[in-house]
Amino acid sequence: MKKLFLLMLFMFTVVSHASDYKVVFELTSDNPKHWETLLNNLENVKKDLGPKTKMEVVVHGNGMGVLLKRIEFQKRRMTKIVSEGVQFLACENTLRRRGIKREELYDFAKTVPAGLGEIIRKQKEGWAYIKIGP
């Protein structure tokens, strides 16, 4: 009986770790079609890999428009995605270079010092990497 319990515990541990996916998306495009693709991919990955899937979207360069309040790109849909655990991270280097203030971003957006640095760290930690756009 004890061996059966240990075997079941081992199998549960293996299965639970197998479903703990981590994915970092990179967005550098100013094309709303690419933004739409990003949102579709976020929803589809979460549905396919499960609710425990950790996902970050690192936005830098030309992609910053997706996070600007004044552009109002699918705020309701993005807010829902964020409520499901996805993080949108804006590159502080891009914000500084383009003269964008933190207050101009959606409230759910967080920042990182360097977009590429964040992506590199995540890849080193074993996160899958997906590039959206050209």
Domains of the chain: 20-132 (3.40.1260.10)
Encoding tokens for residue 69?
């309040």
Summarised one tens digit per residue, pLDDT across range 50-102 is 999 999 999 999 999 999 999 988 999 999 999 999 999 999 999 999 999 99
Higher-scoring residue by pLDDT: 12, 66: 66
* Closest C-alpha to 52, from 12, 9, 88, 16: 16
Whole-number pLDDT of residue 1 = 52
Is-above-0.95 flag for pTM?
A: no
For the chain, give the mean pLDDT: 89
